Amino acid sequence: MFNIFTKQTKKKLGEEKTINFSKDGDIPKHIAIIMDGNGRWAQKRRLPRIAGHKEGMNNVKKITTYASKLGVKVLTLYAFSTENWKRPSNEVDFLMKLPVDFFDVFVPELIKENVKVNVMGFTEHLPKHTQKAVENAIKETKNNTGMILNFALNYGSRAEILTAVNDLLNEVKQGNFTEEVDEDMFSNYLMTASLGNELQDPDLLIRTSGEERISNFLLWQIAYSELYFTETYWPEFSLVHLEEAIGSYQKRQRRFGGLKIEGEASK
């Protein structure tokens, strides 16, 4: 049985404050995370940047398992952007190998936890060994019915939106429809459409490492997401940090452009 409130004083995080987090409270259905700060975490320890990426991927396992236990329906992780190809070739090569190692070790646990793997992005441009690892993980977990672990891999939101627009234009040229395009229809052409109508848009977006920008991530989908920024580097982002982020979310009122009226739910 979960306690109604978990109070944690996080002196070890360098913060003299107490948070209220309710495991029985409003848990975001869809959490998206920009996993930032791997390289800086490593450099602070005089380690190569790739050591930070490895530690960051290890942290994915812990956060995924805990998010699933909390009842999160979708966890979307920004693993590799379309802009990350600009990084040094040895770092990119290592990043492309990470999914192979990650899925090789973690898929059995994902199956045990009933977690389903989904990947969105321009995966056709990934190296063959990375594509194969992704395809195998999706295939091996396709019958799982629990949380969706959704990796954004070789993903960029502007490219996603432009692709959707061009797909719609092709449909029009072929005479497949002539009606006006609305938000729901457009959303169905985005890469998050596979998550289902109720889960396409994140309720909560978390970015680690102290940066406070979106970096071309889910620009359409986060129109009404709650944003949470933390100074903590991703490899150090613990279960307590996740609770803190959700605790912050639970204190907010989501109005979606409307007003909070006494006695009525937020709109």
Query: What DSSP assignment string belongs to 124-156?
Result: GGS-HHHHHHHHHHHHHHTT--S-EEEEEEEE-
In the prediction, which pLDDT does 150 show?
A: 98
How far apart CA 166 and CA 160 sit, in angstroms, is 10
For residue 77, give the nearest of 64, 89, 62, 96 by alpha carbon.
64
How far apart CA 195 and CA 116 sit, in angstroms, is 11
Active site residue 84: yes
CA 50 centroid distance within chain: 21
Q: Give the residues of the chain that fall short of pLDDT 70.
A: 1-18, 256-267
- 32 contacts 205 by C-beta, under 8 angstroms: yes
In the prediction, which pLDDT does 175 show?
A: 84
Pull the structure tokens for residue 22. Answer: 């309710």
First to last CA, the chain: 32
In the prediction, which pLDDT does 178 show?
A: 73
Active-site option among 3, 20, 84, 150: 84
For 234-260, how does the pLDDT look when each residue is reduced to its tens digit (9 = 90+)? 999 999 999 999 999 999 987 766 656
In the prediction, which pLDDT does 29 show?
A: 98
Distances in whole angstroms, Cα of residue 52 to Cα of each of 35, 45, 101, 215, 235: 11, 10, 15, 20, 7
CA 18 centroid distance within chain: 26
Active site residue 20: no
Lookup result for tokens 């441009």: 125
Lookup result for tokens 């199956």: 111
In the prediction, which pLDDT does 14 show?
A: 45
How far apart CA 189 and CA 160 sit, in angstroms, is 9
The pTM score is 0.89
Classified by CATH at the fold level, domain 26-250 comes out as Undecaprenyl pyrophosphate synthetase (3.40.1180)
For 30-43, how does the pLDDT look when each residue is reduced to its tens digit (9 = 90+)? 999 999 999 999 99
Active-site option among 3, 24, 36, 93: 36
In the prediction, which pLDDT does 3 show?
A: 40
- 258 contacts 266 by C-beta, under 8 angstroms: yes
